[in-house]
Amino acid sequence: MTETVVSLPRALRGELKEPLGPIFTDAERLLETAETPIVAVGDVVTYHLESAGVTPDVALVDGITKRERVAPEVREAVSDDARRVTVENPAGVLTDDLLTALVAAIEAADPMVLVVEGEEDLAALPAVLAVPTGASVVYGQPDEGMVLARVSPELQAEVADLLARMDGETDRLFSLVGYTDCR
Strands (E), the chain: 4-7, 23-24, 38-41, 58-61, 64-65, 68-69, 83-89, 93-95, 112-118, 136-141, 145-150, 167-168
Q: At what angle are helices 170-177 and 153-164 packed, to 10 degrees?
A: 150
5 is in an annotated binding site: no
Q: Are 84 and 113 in contact (CB under 8 A)?
A: yes
Instruction: Tell me: is residue 93 an annotated ligand-binding position.
Output: no
At residue 122, what are phi and psi to the nearest 5 degrees?
Answer: -80, -5
Instruction: Check the annotation: does 121 bind a ligand.
Output: no
Strands 145-150 and 23-24, how do they pair?
antiparallel
Cα Dmax for the chain: 44
User: Any known ligand binding at 143?
Assistant: yes
Check the annotation: does 44 bind a ligand: yes
Residue numbers belonging to the annotated binding site: 43-45, 62, 120, 143
Q: Which residues are annotated as part of the binding site for GTP? A: 43-45, 62, 120, 143
